[in-house]
Structure 1
Amino acid sequence: MHLGALFIASHVLTTGSVRETARRFQLSPSTVSTAIHNLEIELAIKLTERTSGELVMLLASGRVLEGLEPITAAIGEVGQVSGHDSVAAAEVYEAWASRIPIKIVTMERFLEVADQGSINRAARRLRLGQPQLSLQLANLEKFFGHRLFERQAQGSVLTEEGRRAYQIFMGISQAWNDLKSSADERYRRTARSLRIGSIIPTGSESWVARCLGVLVSEWNARRNNNAISLVSMTADDLREALKNGRIDVAILDSVFGLENFRHRELLQTDMVVIAPPNSIETSVADLVAGHAICMPSPRTGLGHAAMAFSDARTPNRRLRSQDITAADSLPVIVDLVANHGYVSFLGRVSAMPIANKVRIVDLDVRVPMSYHVAFNHRKAAADACAVIIDAAARITSQPVA
C-alpha cells in the first residue's frame, strides 16, 4: 500500500463518499475506489458496499478508520519534513498527501537499514540486491528533499532529517502492523473454517437441512479443528463457488459439471409431481395441463429433467410459454404449490417430508434422480463428505411420520 492510498481511503471512510473525495483531492473516482479496494484486500475485510447506488459504510469501517488515524497523523509529519505544511494550505496539502508514492514496504526497508547501520547488511537480511535497496533509499531522499543517511566507511548513519523520518516511519509501521495483525487473525480463522454449500432446502424438515444439522452436531462433538460454515445457494452458484475455492463442499441435485470435481453420490430417488392439496386431477398429464407450473431451474438436474418431462407429456398445454415459472428457491416453489394452485416436480426424497402440505403424485414412467456431494482437496472436506453421506443414508431410510 502507498501512503497516498491510505490517506484517500481514510477520507472515504470519514465522508462516506467516493465522489466527494475524488472532487476534493482532484482525483478520478476510479482512483479513489481502487484505494478502498486495495485496502480491503490488504486487510482481508469488506469495508463498504453499494446499495441503490449509494456507498454504505460497513461495521468494520469504523474500527479500520480508528486504526488509520495514527497513519494519517504521521502523514502530516511527513508533510512538515518534506515542506508540505497541512496548516498553511489545506487544499494543496490534501492534493499532495493523496499522491504520496511511498510504499509501506519501502519504509520498513528504510527502518531495517537504519537498525543495521549498513545498506549491505540490511540487503542481506531482506534478501534484496544492494543496488535495488540503494535506489529505493535514494528515491526516499529525493521525495523528502533531504539526505536521510550519511554514508561513512563503517556504514550508514542517519542524518537529523533521517532520525525524524525514522520516528515517523516507525509510528506508521506499528500502526499498519496493528491493522494487519487483525487481518491475519481473520485470515487464520477463515483458513481453518470448513465452508459447506448446499442446494436450498425445501424447509427445516428437508433431508438436506437435517443432513447439515447432523454434520454440525457430530463435527463439533468430535472437537474438530476446523469450524463449520454453512451457506445455501443455487446449483450454478455452488459449482462456481467450489471452482473458485469459496466453499469446500457442495451438496448438489445436478450432475452437470461434476466431472470437474471430486464427488460421491449421496442418494438416488425418483422424480414425482407435487400438486395443490385440494387438486382433483388423477393423472400427471391433467395436472400439468390444468395448473400453472413453477419449475425448478433448468440449470439443475431436477429442473432439466422436469422441463423435458412436462414438454414431452403435454405438447399442447394451454399458455405453455406464459405460465411456466422457473425458480431457484425450493421454499418458494413449495409455497406456490401449497397455497397458490401451482404444480411442480421434486425428488421423492425431498417431497416426502412435506406430504402434509402438498399432494404427491407418481409419474407414469420412472424418472431417476441422483444427488451428489462434491468437494475439494482438503482432508477436512473429505471427512465432512463422509459424515454427510452417512447422515443422508440414515435420514432417508427413516419412515416419514
Structure 2
Amino acid sequence: MHLGALFIASHVLTSGSVRETARRFQLSPSTVSTAIHNLEIELAIKLTERTSGELVTLLASDRVLEGLEPITAAIAEFGQLSGQDSVAAADVYEAWASRIPVKIVTMERFLEVADQGSINRAARRLRLGQPQLSLQLANLEKFSGHRLFERQAQGSVLTEEGRRAYQIFMAISQAWNELKSSADERYQRNARSLRIGSIIPTGSESWVARCLGSLVSEWNLRRNNNAISLVSMTADDLREALKSGRIDVAILDSVFGLESFRHRELLQTEMVVIAPPDSTETSVADLVAGHAICMPSPRTGLGHAAMAFSYGRAPNRRLRNQDITAADSLPVIVDLVANHGYVSFLGRVSALPIADRVRIVDLDVHLPMSYHVAFNHRKAAADASTVIIETAARITSEPVAQTARQAAGTRETAA
C-alpha cells in the first residue's frame, strides 16, 4: 500500500463518500475507489458497499478508521518534514498527502537499513540487491527533500532529518502491522468458519429453525474443527452470497439459479393458505377476495408462486394493489394472519407447526413446492448439508406420524 492510498481511504471512511473525497483531493473517482478497494484486499475485510447508488460504510470501517488514525497523524509529521504544513495550507497538504507514492514496504526497508547501519547488510537480510535498495532509498530522500543517511566508510548513519523520518516511519509501520495482524486473525477465523444461510424461518417452531438447531448441536458434539455461523436472508440474497463466497451452504425455497452450485432436494411439500383462526370462508377464492393479503416477497420462490396464484383467483378485486403486502419477514406475516385478519401462503410443512395459531386451508389445485440445500466445494459444507437433509427428513415426518396416531385414537374411541 502507498501512503497516499491510506490517506485517501481514511477520508472515504470518514466522509462516507467517494465523490466528495475525489472533489476535495482533485482526484478521479476511480482513483479513490481503487484506494479503498486495495485497503479492503490488504485487510481481507469489506469496509463499504453500494446501496441505491450511494456508498455506505459498514460497521467494520469504524475499527479500521481508528487503526488508521496513527498513520494519518504520522503522515502529517512526514508532511512537516517535507515542507508541507497541514495547518497553514490544508488544501495544499491534502493534495500532497493523497499523492504520496511511498510504499510501506519501502519505509520498512529504510528502517532495516537504519537498524543494521549498513545498506549491504540490510540488503542481505532483505534478500535484495544492493543497487535496488540504494535506488529505493535515493527516491525516498528525493521525495522527502532531505538526505536521510550519511554514507560513511563503516556504513550508513542517520542524519538529523533521518532520525525524524525513522520515528515517523516506525509509527506507520507499527500501526499498519497491527491492522494487518487483526486481518490475518480474521482470515484464519473465516477460513475455519462454516457459514450457513437460510430462508427466514417462520419462528422457533419452524422446520428450518429446528434443522439449524439440530445441525449446530450435532456438529459441536462431533467436535468438528469448523465453527458454524448462521444467517437468514431472502432467496435472492442467498444465491448472491453463495456465488460471492460469503456463505458456504444455503437453504432455499426454489431450485431457480442453482445450476452452477452443488445442490440436493431437501424436502417436498405443497402450498396452502393460512387464514385467521376466526375466519369462516371455506374457499380460497373467498378468502383472497375478502381479506387483505400479506405474503413472502416475490423475490422468493414461495412468494412468486403465491403472488401469481392470488392474482389468478380474484382478478376483479378492488384495491388489488393497495392491500397486497409483500414482506421478507415470515414472523411478521404469521402475526398479520393470526392477529390482524390477513391471509397468506406457506408450504404445508411450514404451516403445520403454527396450526394452533392460524387456519390451514387447502388450495383448490395442487401446487407443489420443493426446498433445496446448495453448497460449495468445501467438504465441511457437504457434510453439513447431509446433516441438514437427514434432520429435515426426521422433522417433517413427525407431523405425519402424529396425524396417524391421532386418527388411530379416534377410530379406537369410536369403536
| Shorter-chain TM-score range | 0.7 to 0.9
CA contact (8 A) 2:234 2:299 kept: no
Output the TM-score relative to the length of structure 1. 0.81
Q: Deviations over 1:3-28 (max 9, x none)?
A: 24444566777899999988987778
| Stretch of structure 1 that moved more, 318-327 or 331-340 | 318-327
Deviation at 1:269, TM superposition (A): 1.0
Q: Does residue 313 of the first structure (1) align with residue 288 of the second (2)?
A: no
Deviation at 1:340, TM superposition (A): 2.8
CA contact (8 A) 2:352 2:399 kept: no
| Stretch of structure 1 that moved more, 147-156 or 350-359 | 147-156
CA contact (8 A) 1:3 1:104 kept: yes
Change (3 A) 1:173 1:331: same
| Stretch of structure 1 that moved more, 373-382 or 319-328 | 319-328
Deviation at 1:207, TM superposition (A): 0.6
Q: Deviations over 1:88-108 (max 9, x none)?
A: 767755554444331212212
Deviation at 1:238, TM superposition (A): 0.5
Deviation at 1:49, TM superposition (A): 8.9
CA contact (8 A) 1:273 1:363 kept: yes
Return the alpha-carbon distance in structure 2 between the equivalents of residues 56 and 313 of structure 1.
42
| Stretch of structure 1 that moved more, 294-303 or 363-372 | 294-303
Deviation at 1:348, TM superposition (A): 0.6
CA contact (8 A) 1:254 1:302 kept: yes
Deviation at 1:60, TM superposition (A): 6.1
Change (3 A) 1:324 1:124: farther
Deviation at 1:268, TM superposition (A): 1.0
Q: Secondary structure at the match of 2:85?
A: coil
Which residue of structure 1 lines up, in the alignment, with residue 94 of structure 2? Answer: 94
Output the TM-score relative to the length of structure 2. 0.78
CA contact (8 A) 2:293 2:343 kept: yes
Change (3 A) 1:66 1:248: closer
CA contact (8 A) 1:256 1:300 kept: no
Change (3 A) 1:344 1:106: same
Return the alpha-carbon distance in structure 2 between the equivalents of residues 399 and 24 of structure 1.
64
Return the alpha-carbon distance in structure 2 between the equivalents of residues 87 and 317 of structure 1.
68
Q: Deviations over 1:237-280 (max 9, x none)?
A: 11011001111110000111121211111111121111121221
Deviation at 1:282, TM superposition (A): 1.4
Deviation at 1:225, TM superposition (A): 1.8
Deviation at 1:75, TM superposition (A): 3.1
| Stretch of structure 1 that moved more, 308-317 or 243-252 | 308-317
Change (3 A) 1:235 1:87: closer
Change (3 A) 1:369 1:67: closer
Change (3 A) 1:127 1:373: farther
Change (3 A) 1:330 1:140: same
Deviation at 1:158, TM superposition (A): 5.9
| Stretch of structure 1 that moved more, 180-189 or 41-50 | 41-50
Change (3 A) 1:6 1:372: same
Return the alpha-carbon distance in structure 1 between the equivalents of residues 215 and 334 of structure 2.
25
| Stretch of structure 1 that moved more, 117-126 or 385-394 | 117-126
Change (3 A) 1:327 1:99: same
Return the alpha-carbon distance in structure 1 between the equivalents of residues 297 and 305 of structure 2.
10
| Stretch of structure 1 that moved more, 33-42 or 102-111 | 33-42
Return the alpha-carbon distance in structure 1 between the equivalents of residues 62 and 163 of structure 2.
32
Q: Deviations over 1:51-100 (max 9, x none)?
A: 99999998766655554454345335434543445677677555544443
Q: Deviations over 1:321-371 (max 9, x none)?
A: 554333332222222222232222211100001111111111233222111
Which residue of structure 1 lines up, in the alignment, with residue 12 of structure 2? Answer: 12
Change (3 A) 1:318 1:128: farther
Deviation at 1:42, TM superposition (A): 3.6
Return the alpha-carbon distance in structure 1 between the equivalents of residues 280 and 62 of structure 2.
60
Give the alignment's Cα RMSD to 1 decimal: 4.2
Q: Deviations over 1:203-251 (max 9, x none)?
A: 1111111111111222222222222111111111110110011111100
| Stretch of structure 1 that moved more, 60-69 or 238-247 | 60-69
| Stretch of structure 1 that moved more, 19-28 or 107-116 | 19-28
Return the alpha-carbon distance in structure 2 between the equivalents of residues 369 and 236 of structure 1.
17
Q: Secondary structure at the match of 2:202?
A: coil
Change (3 A) 1:351 1:182: same
Change (3 A) 1:308 1:23: closer
Return the alpha-carbon distance in structure 2 between the equivalents of residues 168 and 315 of structure 1.
73
Change (3 A) 1:266 1:127: farther
Which residue of structure 1 lines up, in the alignment, with residue 407 of structure 2? Answer: none
Q: Secondary structure at the match of 1:183?
A: helix
| Stretch of structure 1 that moved more, 6-15 or 289-298 | 6-15
The count of corresponding residues between Structure 1 and Structure 2 is: 401
Return the alpha-carbon distance in structure 2 between the equivalents of residues 221 and 204 of structure 1.
21
The alignment-based identity, stated in percent, is: 91
Return the alpha-carbon distance in structure 2 between the equivalents of residues 290 and 319 of structure 1.
12
Q: Secondary structure at the match of 1:369?
A: strand
Deviation at 1:188, TM superposition (A): 1.7
Deviation at 1:316, TM superposition (A): 4.6
Return the alpha-carbon distance in structure 1 between the equivalents of residues 85 and 157 of structure 2.
27
Return the alpha-carbon distance in structure 2 between the equivalents of residues 304 and 89 of structure 1.
59
Q: Secondary structure at the match of 2:259?
A: helix
Return the alpha-carbon distance in structure 2 between the equivalents of residues 249 and 16 of structure 1.
32
Q: Secondary structure at the match of 2:133?
A: helix
Change (3 A) 1:267 1:159: same
Q: Secondary structure at the match of 1:260?
A: coil
